[in-house]
A = this chain, B = another copy of it.
Amino acid sequence: MKKVSSTNLVYAFSSSMSPVLEVASGDQIVFETIDALGGQIKFEGDVINLDFSKVNPATGPVFIKGAMPGNTLKVKILKIDLAEEGVIVCEEGFGVFPELVKGFKAKMLRIKDGFVRFDKLSIPANPMIGVIGVAPENGHFTTGTAYKHGGNMDTKYVKTGSAVYLPIFQPGACLALGDVHAAMADGEVCVSACEVCANVTVEVELINYEIEWPLIETESGFFIVVSMGTVEEALKEVTYQAVKFLSRKLNLSMNSAYMLASLVVDIQISQLVDPNKTVRAYIPKYLFDGKGEIM
């Protein structure tokens, strides 16, 4: 199987990226990823001045032959193999409640048998990928930021068994991923999760269809994922996108689709702590007679 080692790290998604591997639609790839702190924290008491230039590394990018702007890259998440120890950090001035922390704190977390150990508590692990994205249409987004190209969406449904759909903006797409979490809740309120090194196996596929924002598909439904500067903006945009999706798939007027969304589309929080905030709209598949295509 093709593999990208964690010596190939990027700290930004930009419109001109330099691929480190070339694959074809249908290929499987293993990404070796390192934790979101760039491996800088090794011990419980590590109170260090974080080198922010090493935060949120993504492994890649991978060039997918035939990927062209206006099409969509489907990334099926096949497996997430976690390391045995993770770390969570918080820092004064960060998170949903920035006044709550003094200075910088780190806590090491053991991961075993599907649980994350937090003091005497055992938390069910929910392994997921924080950063997954492609080269954007224009400019340069740090890997800590999410937008239409994906990036730091910190969405817990980017997990084994799910498929992530990303709009392709540049030839070859240039897929990179990292920032795996062994456990995270919606909001990621303290600014980080159980940050962990992991090997991630995916299968890529090109889809001849155009999307505007990333989508996640699970067995039961679709999530449209929108990231913008404020949660208010993101909530409005994701609602609009969900209404458009229903209108198109079900051949409804926008007005009817808006009412239907009020009954069946859950508006949810992914993360509230990165430079752009990420929200999602959950659209259940039963509406489409079990037909599971995004088109």
- Knowing A96-B235, A239-B96, A272-B267 touch, does A188 contact B255 (C-beta < 8 A)? no
The answer to whether A263 touches B193 (Cβ under 8 A) is yes
- Knowing A269-B267, A272-B267 touch, does A262 contact B185 (C-beta < 8 A)? yes
Residue of B nearest to A262 (CB): B190
| Interfacial residues of chain A within 224-278, with CB under 8 A of chain B in the complex | 230-232, 235-236, 239-240, 242-243, 250, 252, 254-256, 258-269, 272
The answer to whether B188 touches A262 (Cβ under 8 A) is yes
What is the bound-complex CA distance between A223 and B107, given in angstroms?
Answer: 26
Distance (Å) between the CB of A88 and the closest chain B CB?
A: 5
The answer to whether A262 touches B97 (Cβ under 8 A) is no
The answer to whether B262 touches A192 (Cβ under 8 A) is yes
- Knowing A100-B254, A239-B187, A243-B100 touch, does A88 contact B263 (C-beta < 8 A)? yes
Distance (Å) between the CB of A287 and the closest chain B CB?
A: 6
Contacts of A97 in B (CB 8 A): 236, 239-240, 243, 258
The stretch from A44-52, A62-70, A116-124 touching chain B is A116-124
- Knowing A96-B239, A231-B235, A269-B269 touch, does A259 contact B90 (C-beta < 8 A)? yes
What is the bound-complex CA distance between A185 and B269, given in angstroms?
Answer: 14
- Knowing A101-B258, A193-B262 touch, does A187 contact B121 (C-beta < 8 A)? no
Interface residues of A: mostly helix, strand, loop or mixed?
mixed
Distance (Å) between the CB of A61 and the closest chain B CB?
A: 29
Contacts of A231 in B (CB 8 A): 231-232, 235
Contacts of A78 in B (CB 8 A): none
What is the bound-complex CA distance between A259 and B188, given in angstroms?
Answer: 9
The answer to whether B184 touches A255 (Cβ under 8 A) is no
The answer to whether A187 touches B105 (Cβ under 8 A) is no
| Interfacial residues of chain A within 72-118, with CB under 8 A of chain B in the complex | 88, 90, 95-97, 100-102, 105, 107, 116, 118
- Knowing A121-B287, A255-B101 touch, does A262 contact B187 (C-beta < 8 A)? yes
Residue of B nearest to A192 (CB): B262
What is the bound-complex CA distance between A100 and B261, given in angstroms?
Answer: 13
Task: Give the residue of B90, B123, B185, B261 whose beta carbon is less than 8 angstroms from that of A185.
Answer: B261
The answer to whether B239 touches A189 (Cβ under 8 A) is yes
Q: Does A183 contact B (CB under 8 A)?
A: yes
Q: Which of A100, A102, A105 has the most CB of B within 10 A?
A: A100
The answer to whether B186 touches A266 (Cβ under 8 A) is yes
